[in-house]
């Protein structure tokens, strides 16, 4: 299944994208359910699959011009992984890390896949990072690697926007540069694992104003999906709906000589094979 949420910001409703590309309203799955911690933690995906098989054909169609929101409701946390692509490590001349580098991103940064991205006040170095994100389906605490995929609800596209001056020049941790409003566009949809043939063999790409900037494959991941779920669960409990963003391939603005950052009016387009594409317009803070 491909889960979507649609409607105005903050008032999104759950839906599904069908194999033929049609989008349907899944509010009928019952209980006013949204795609949140309670949904994933209580067998919501199984209920949704049953609802789709039984009555999905009669569900209202969502018009193509209706805004897509982030595919899941605001989770308890976004855990991000830094420097997790071999080709990115090669490009930046950095050693492959012995253990995953982790940082947090505020959940208030989440926005829809095609919403405008706002350059924050005093922001001068806004940068892009196309990433494969996964969503936790089942509570994970001290999970073994060989059971880790049992805890994954699905996969989605994420652009881990960063304000490099906040991240690297203002002291302390990366979280300052990662958490601005609109800095986490998610989607277009959350794909359940059965939709993806091999999550470690997906083309991943990003363009700025039509020019290719990032182009790689998830086969370059240093720490793969089960390793990350297991590893992170040794330090914290992952709740249903939580997001892990697995890191970005080479070609970010910071990696260019001289660095190239985004300005008002720029257009960023990105995608991952099997997970769709998204497009964001940069806007100055007003």
Footprint of Zn ion (CB under 5 A): 129, 160, 248
By beta-carbon proximity to Zn ion, the closer residue of 248 and 280 is: 248
Q: Are strands 130-136 and 152-159 parallel, antiparallel or unpaired?
A: antiparallel
Q: What is the smallest separation between the CB atom of 69 and Zn ion, expressed in angstroms?
A: 21
Give the shortest CB-111-to-Zn ion separation in angstroms: 16
Cβ 250 vs Cβ 85: under 8 Å: yes
CB of 50 to Zn ion, least distance (A): 36
Nearer to Zn ion, 167 or 248 (CB): 248
Helix (H) or strand (E) holding 230: helix 225-232
Q: Minimum distance from CB of 248 to Zn ion (Å)?
A: 5
State the Cα–Cα distance between residues 92 and 255, nearest whole angstrom.
Answer: 7
Backbone φ, ψ for residue 75 (5° rounding): -85, 175
Question: Closer CB to Zn ion, residue 129 or residue 220?
Answer: 129
Nearest to Zn ion of 12, 160 (CB atom): 160
CB of 80 to Zn ion, least distance (A): 5
The first and second tokens of residue 68, run together, are 């897509």
Q: Work out whether strand 267-272 and strand 203-208 pair parallel, antiparallel, or are unpaired.
A: antiparallel
Beta carbons of 159 and 249 less than 8 angstroms apart: no
> Between 218 and 248, whose beta carbon lies closer to Zn ion?
248
Residue closer to Zn ion, measured from CB, 160 or 163 = 160
Give the C-alpha separation, 142 to 127, whole Å. Answer: 34
Minimal distance in Å, beta carbon 191 to Zn ion?
A: 20
Burial class of residue 283 in the structure, from the number of CB atoms within 10 Å of its CB (0-12 exposed, 13-18 middle, 19+ buried) = middle
Judged by beta carbon, residue 233 or residue 248, the one nearer Zn ion is: 248
Calpha distance 278→144 (Å, rounded)? 34
Give 53-59 contacts, CB < 8 A, sequence gap 24+: 55/28, 56/16, 56/18, 56/24, 56/26, 59/16, 59/24, 59/25, 59/26, 59/28
Cis amide bond preceding 167, omega within 30 = no
Q: What residue number has its CB nearest to Zn ion?
A: 160
Smallest distance from the beta carbon of 145 to Zn ion, in angstroms? 22
């Amino acid at each position: 299944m491909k889960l979507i949420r649609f409607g105005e910001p903050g008032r999104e409703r759950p839906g599904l994208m069908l194999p033929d590309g049609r989008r349907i309203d899944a509010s009928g799955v019952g209980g006013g359910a949204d795609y949140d911690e309670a949904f994933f933690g209580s067998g919501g995906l199984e209920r949704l699959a049953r609802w789709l098989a039984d009555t999905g054909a009669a569900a209202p169609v969502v018009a193509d011009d209706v805004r897509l929101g982030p595919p899941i409701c605001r989770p308890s946390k976004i855990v991000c992984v830094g420097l997790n692509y071999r080709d990115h490590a090669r490009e930046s001349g950095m050693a492959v890390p012995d253990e995953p580098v982790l940082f947090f991103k505020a959940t208030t940064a989440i926005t829809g896949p095609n919403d405008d991205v706002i350059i924050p006040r005093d922001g001068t170095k806004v940068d892009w990072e196309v990433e494969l994100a996964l969503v936790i389906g089942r509570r994970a605490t001290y999970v073994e690697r060989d059971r880790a995929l049992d805890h994954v609800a699905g996969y989605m596209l994420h652009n881990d926007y960063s304000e490099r001056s906040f991240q690297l020049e203002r002291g302390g941790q990366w979280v300052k540069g990662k958490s601005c409003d609109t800095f986490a566009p998610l989607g277009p949809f959350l794909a359940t694992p059965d939709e993806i043939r091999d999550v470690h063999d997906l083309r991943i790409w990003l363009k700025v104003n039509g020019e290719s900037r990032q182009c790689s494959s998830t086969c370059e991941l240093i720490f793969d999906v089960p390793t990350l779920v297991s590893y992170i669960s040794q330090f914290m409990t992952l709740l249903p709906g939580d997001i892990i963003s697995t890191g970005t391939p080479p070609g970010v603005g910071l990696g260019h000589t001289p660095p190239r950052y985004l300005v008002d009016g720029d257009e960023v387009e990105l995608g991952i094979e099997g997970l769709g594409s998204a497009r964001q317009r940069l806007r100055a803070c007003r």
